[in-house]
Amino acid sequence: MWGLNLPIVLALAAIGGVLVWRRAHTLVWLLYSLGALWAFFKFGFVVPIPQSVATIYLAITGLALVAYASSSRERLAETVQPIKRLILEPRYRLALAGLLVALPALAAYNAYADLTMPLEAPGFGREIHPAPPPEITVHDETVNMTTGDNPYLHYKADDPELYGKHLENGRRVYYENCFWCHGDGMGGDGMFAHGLNPVPSNFNDVGTLPALQSSFVHWRIAKGGPGLPGPGTPWDSAMPAWEKFLTTEEMWDVNLFIYDFNGFEPRALGQH
Amino acid sequence: MNRNRILFGIGVLAFVSVIVTVRLGGFLVDNEYRQPDRQVAAQEEQGETELTPRQQGIVDEQAADEAEARARPYEEAEYRTVPFVGSRVTVWVLAQLHLLFAAFVLAVPLFAFIIEFVGYVKKEERYNKLAYEFTKLLSVSFSMTATFGAFLTFGLIILYPKFTNYLMHIFSPTFLPYVLLFFLEALFLYSYYYGWGKFGPKMHLFLGFMLNIVGTAIMFIANAWLTFMMSPGRRDDVDGDGVPDFVSAVSESGALLSLRDAFFNFTWMPINIHRIIANVAFGGSIAAAYAAFRYLQAKTDEEKAHFDWMGYVGNFVAIIAFLPLPFAGYYLAAEIYAFSQTLGIQMMGGTFSWLFVIQAALIGNLFLGANYYLWLGMGRMEGGVHFQKFIKWLLIAIALCFAVWATPRYAISSVSEIAAMGGSSHPQLSYLGQMSAKNTAVNILILSTYMSFLLYRRTGRQSVHPHRQLLTRAQAIVFSSAAALVIFYGVYGYYVDAAIRIRFAIPQVYSVLAALVVITVIDLPLYRNAAQSGETKWGRMPAVSQYALIFIALSFTWLMGLMGYVRSGLRQEWHVYGVILDTSPDAYTPTLGFATQVVSVTVLIFFGLLGVVFWLSSLGGKKDWEPKAVADGGDRLEGGQAA
């Protein structure tokens, strides 16, 4: 359920229940909280949590527990009282000796476990959001990513007939080249989509095209997967660099078309 | 043998060693190799000097250097380097140190003025005394700010001469007003500090007011210089189509088109707002750290009580300013994204996004530290035990929100972890890495901190208001409604499209701000003239509480250094974004690990210097020097006079 390893979660909850029933001491609760959360992060999920995240969580837990134990003089005195008794009272001498052996042994085991950890290559996480370069050059024409805009967009208001022609050309380009992957309806579900990882962009998504300036889309069309930036490599995009196959006008036209087809406007400069 | 004799022996030994080494060196040089032929001996007999091979080598080398220097034509240097650390790191550290002291110098007068004003209105001398205590820190800090400002200016002129020249080309008309304002700042600052008790209260408040106005104006001018580097132009709807256009302040070659557009550029106002709020939060935390430092040194109960109160007020100022800071940061980030999608994506989804996970960890620590200090503060009052039971639940809420905020969308993982997860994101935890969860977490953190403050305020006090039950219930309803609304939008955000989800941040923020205002408005009459169940015992704080204040100041400083790097580093290989390229060997973006190391070292240097400032500021309160008492035949002589 919810990706949780239920037997572990229930066992930890049961121990917590017993502590409530037995009205456990504050120190016991603190030790239980740290141990239970460690066990939960380590074994509580069907897909284990990455070590880096578990370390962050345990550090926060540790800080919070220390803050709680020392948040008043009375609570601090209550928390450390069993520790004082363990150290000072003769009847606990055996337990104290055991602890004095156990703590260095635990540290030694930890050092041993760290040193004998199986070596593995570091993982390369993919960067999902490529940041475009400040400007690109397509067919000897420089496009500024901040101020660049689709040169035919203004025809929508100025010359609707000419705008229609560009749209029509964009439609032709799309259904000759793009729909194989991006799909008939632009949902990122074309006939080749199932063979690609990551899957092609879904242009129906309101979070994709409206959030991008047309210059960004032009960059992705012209430069494709090979033109993705250095930071965040390796990229796995199968998108071709269409500048090698299409004219500049064809690329701006298909850019116009995918926005028009989905009923979106490109994000303007200065728009949140 | 006693210790002094050993030390004396070591000193003598060291002195003798130095003498022996120098003499030995001289002997070796005097007796170096000479050609043993007769001709040389004859020359020497005739009084002609002969050079040894070593001396000849030195003469030849000097001649070659001189010839090379004469042959070299004059060239304008574009960049100069600094050995070992590099020019970028040098300027980076200097700029950061200058900014940290400047932020402190601008912030302290702001709240010193407010505290003095409160004292004037309430007619309570203790406020006046507190404001003066804060102002004591200013004098030395002002000198530090100016010193590092000079260091930075020289650093830029020497290491980045061409780029500095370009900035002068753009902003030279602003330099004279800047210097004049700086002069006025010094005038008002010193008259405010040295004039304490010398002027009438209204005149003194006027000086404080002018000090703040001038200080803010200085910051606004400097902000124009740095924001121009990020966004060299302003936003305006030039063609009247309702869509903002970018009006560049410079031509494509970098020539100035409009100083006005360069000055009032795209990110200028967001930075101004963000910096004013952040300066107050930072200044409050540093002043609280100073109080903590003095509290730990204090010998008497009176001193302890005074510095405990000072630390409390400093921390209070810091936290009050800190609460709206995430919203100001959000505004700044939104404006950066609106200016350039490249910068925006780079910041929140690209190379720099990991620094925001570190930022979350630091802010989480700040919230935890601030709450912890408030909880410990309950110990000052009699009857504080009553609210202790709530701490557990507040802590759970804070720790949960902290964990959610620090959860990365894409975790650093090993190959086997990636294979198990089927990608870089965990199937369950990745939900916590999204904006909906983060916004919810930060809003609940703010509400929890405010709740801690309310509990602290109520500790040891009993409302005598006739409608106290009704008003308390109203507060509880407002509080839980705001929390419920925040959580509702947080959960609902997962079921709607991204474009709609982004807009949910606004009602979340407004509901929290409205709750803070409404609860405060109810709380003021509710606890006016409240019955005290016991006395507030200032100075009854454990030492750990003072370390919490120092920890908060340290976290604030580290956070400022880190986020300052993000803002500046976002330009990557540009001096002025899109206009002037950085072609120096340092133009690459450093690794995140290296950047955090530079920030850490800078923070350490700052705190070292701050220690000097604290020490110098505390000298004023120390007793005047007097000659040591000398025992003479059983009689004690003091100050050179017979007892």
Over the stretch B89-137, which tens digit does the pLDDT of each residue have?
Answer: 999 999 999 999 999 999 989 889 989 998 999 888 888 988 998 898 8
Strand, helix or coil for residue B475? helix
**For A66, which residue in chain B has the nearest alpha carbon?**
B372
Residues in chain A: 272
For B399, the closest of A45, A64, A205 (CB atoms) is: A64
How confident is the model at residue B642, as a pLDDT?
A: 37
Residue pair A148/A218 in contact by the 8 Å Cβ criterion: yes
**Is it the case that residue B164 has pLDDT exceeding 90?**
yes
Give the pLDDT band (50/70/90) at residue B637: very low
The DSSP 8-state label assigned to residue A177 in this structure reads I
The DSSP 8-state label assigned to residue B249 in this structure reads S
Residue pair B454/B489 in contact by the 8 Å Cβ criterion: no
B224-238 burial: b if 16+ Cβ within 10 Å, else e: bbbbbbbbbbbbeee
Residues in chain A with CB shorter than 8 Å from the CB of B232 are none
**Is it the case that residue B416 has pLDDT exceeding 90?**
no
Give residues 102 to 121 of A whose Cβ lies within 8 Å of B. 120-121
Residues in chain B with CB shorter than 8 Å from the CB of A129 are 345, 348-350
Strand, helix or coil for residue B313? helix
Give the pLDDT band (50/70/90) at residue B641: very low
Strand, helix or coil for residue B200? coil
How far apart, in whole angstroms, are the C-alpha atoms of residue B426 and residue A50?
Answer: 8
Give residues 167 to 206 of A whose Cβ lies within 8 Å of B. 205-206
How confident is the model at residue A31, as a pLDDT?
A: 93
Which of B252, B253, B340, B393 to probe the A interface (max A CBs under 10 A)?
B340
A171 CA to centre of own chain: 34
How confident is the model at residue A271, as a pLDDT?
A: 62
Question: Is A135-262 a domain of CATH 1.10.3470?
Answer: no
How confident is the model at residue B506, as a pLDDT?
A: 84
**Is it the case that residue B380 has pLDDT exceeding 90?**
no
Average pLDDT over residues B223-234: 93
| A14 CA: distance to closest CA in chain B (Å) | 20
How confident is the model at residue B638, as a pLDDT?
A: 43
**For B390, which residue in chain A has the nearest alpha carbon?**
A68
> DSSP letters along B92-153, please?
HHHHHHHHHHHHHHHHHHHHHHHHHHHHHHHT-HHHHHHHHHHHTTHHHHHHHHHHHHHHHH
Give the pLDDT band (50/70/90) at residue B498: low
Answer whether A135 touches B (CB < 8 Å): yes
Burial of A43 from C-beta contacts in 10 A (0-12 / 13-18 / 19+):
middle
> What residue segments make up the domains of chain A, in order of their start?
6-115, 135-262
The DSSP 8-state label assigned to residue A130 in this structure reads P
**For A149, which residue in chain B has the nearest alpha carbon?**
B245
**Is it the case that residue B633 has pLDDT exceeding 60?**
no
How far apart, in whole angstroms, are the C-alpha atoms of residue A227 and residue A220?
Answer: 8
Q: Of residues B311 and B417, which shows the higher confidence score?
A: B311
Answer whether A267 touches B (CB < 8 Å): yes
Predicted ipTM beyond 0.90: no
pLDDT tens across B418-448, in order?
888 877 778 888 888 888 898 899 899 999 9
Strand, helix or coil for residue A271? coil
Give the pLDDT band (50/70/90) at residue B327: confident
**Is it the case that residue B639 has pLDDT exceeding 70?**
no
Burial of B533 from C-beta contacts in 10 A (0-12 / 13-18 / 19+):
middle
The whole-chain average pLDDT of chain B stands at 87
- What share of chain B has pLDDT > 70, as a percent? 93
Which of A4, A72, A213, A264 to probe the B interface (max B CBs under 10 A)?
A72
How confident is the model at residue B643, as a pLDDT?
A: 33
**For A210, which residue in chain B has the nearest alpha carbon?**
B499
How far apart, in whole angstroms, are the C-alpha atoms of residue B415 and residue B624?
Answer: 67
B22-54 burial: b if 16+ Cβ within 10 Å, else e: eeeeeeeeeeeeeeeeeeeeeeeeeeeeeeeee
Strand partners for B209: none
For B411, the closest of A52, A213, A268 (CB atoms) is: A52
Q: How would you write B375-398 as a 3-class SS string? A: HHHHHHECCHHHHHHHHHHHHHHH
The reply to whether residue B235 touches residue A207, judged by beta carbons under 8 angstroms, is no
Q: Of residues B573 and B566, which shows the higher confidence score?
A: B566
Q: To which H or E segment does residue B333 belong?
A: helix B325-339
How far apart, in whole angstroms, are the C-alpha atoms of residue B533 and residue A252?
Answer: 75
Distances (CA, A) of A176 to A171, A243, B81, B604: 8, 15, 55, 61
Look at residues B95, B626, B551 and name the one whose alpha carbon lies nearest to residue B364: B551
Strand, helix or coil for residue B84? coil
Q: To which H or E segment does residue B322 belong?
A: helix B301-322
Give residues 223 to 242 of A whose Cβ lies within 8 Å of B. 231-232
**For B576, which residue in chain A has the nearest alpha carbon?**
A134
Distances (CA, A) of B520 to A79, B473, B516: 35, 14, 6
The DSSP 8-state label assigned to residue A117 in this structure reads P
Strand, helix or coil for residue B497? coil
Between A174-188, B33-47, B520-534, the lowest mean confidence (pLDDT) is in B33-47
How confident is the model at residue B632, as a pLDDT?
A: 53
For B418, the closest of A123, A130, A213 (CB atoms) is: A123
Q: How would you write B564-630 as a 3-class SS string? A: HHHHHHCCCCEEECCCEECCCCCCCCCCHHHHHHHHHHHHHHHHHHHHHHHHHHHHCCCCCCCCCCE
Here the tokens at position A228 are 């993705």
How far apart, in whole angstroms, are the C-alpha atoms of residue A245 and residue A227?
Answer: 15
How far apart, in whole angstroms, are the C-alpha atoms of residue B452 and residue B398?
Answer: 11
**Is it the case that residue B404 has pLDDT exceeding 80?**
yes
Give residues 13 to 72 of A whose Cβ lies within 8 Å of B. 45, 47-53, 56-57, 60-61, 63-64, 67-68, 70-72
Residue pair A175/A182 in contact by the 8 Å Cβ criterion: no
Mode of pairing for the β-strands spanning B635-637 and B630-632: antiparallel
Answer whether A249 touches B (CB < 8 Å): no
Residue pair A44/A5 in contact by the 8 Å Cβ criterion: yes
For B345, the closest of A56, A121, A131 (CB atoms) is: A131
Q: To which H or E segment does residue B461 belong?
A: strand B461-462
Here the tokens at position B417 are 């972890």
Average pLDDT over residues B553-567: 93
How confident is the model at residue B1, as a pLDDT?
A: 57
**Is it the case that residue B636 has pLDDT exceeding 60?**
no
**For B410, which residue in chain A has the nearest alpha carbon?**
A125
For chain A, which residues score pLDDT lower than 50? none
The reply to whether residue B338 touches residue A146, judged by beta carbons under 8 angstroms, is no
Residue pair B78/B582 in contact by the 8 Å Cβ criterion: no
